[in-house]
Amino acid sequence: MGTDEGMCAICGQFGPLTKEHVAPRKAFNDGSVLFEKMEGALPSGEVRWRDRTLQGGNWVRTLCDKCNTLTGHWYGQAYVEFSRRCAEACERVKRPEESGTASFRIAPSRVAKEALAIFCSACGPSLASEHVGLQSLILDPKVQGLLTPLRLYAYLCLGGKHEKGAVVARSSGKARVVNLPTGAFKIVAEFAYWPVGWVLSFTDQRLPLLAEVTHWLSDYGYEDTPETVHVSLVAHEINTALPLDYRTREQVEKEIETHADSGRVKSA
Residue ranges of the domains in the chain? Answer: 5-262
Per-residue pLDDT tens for 7-24?
Answer: 999 999 999 999 988 888
Sequence-distant (≥ 6) Cβ neighbours of residue 77 within 8 angstroms: none
Task: Give the pLDDT confidence of 48-97 residue by residue, as tens digits.
Answer: 555 666 666 777 899 999 999 999 999 999 999 999 989 888 888 877 87
Average pLDDT, the chain: 82
Detail the DSSP E strand segments found in 23-142: 33-41, 47-54, 59-63, 99-106
Assess contact for 188 and 175: CB atoms under 8 A. yes
CA-to-CA distance for 212 and 199, rounded, in angstroms? 9
Partners of 66 in beta bridges: none
Residues of the chain predicted below pLDDT 70: 1-3, 34-56, 99-102, 159-167, 259-268
Are 119 and 127 a contacting pair, CB within 8 Å? Answer: yes
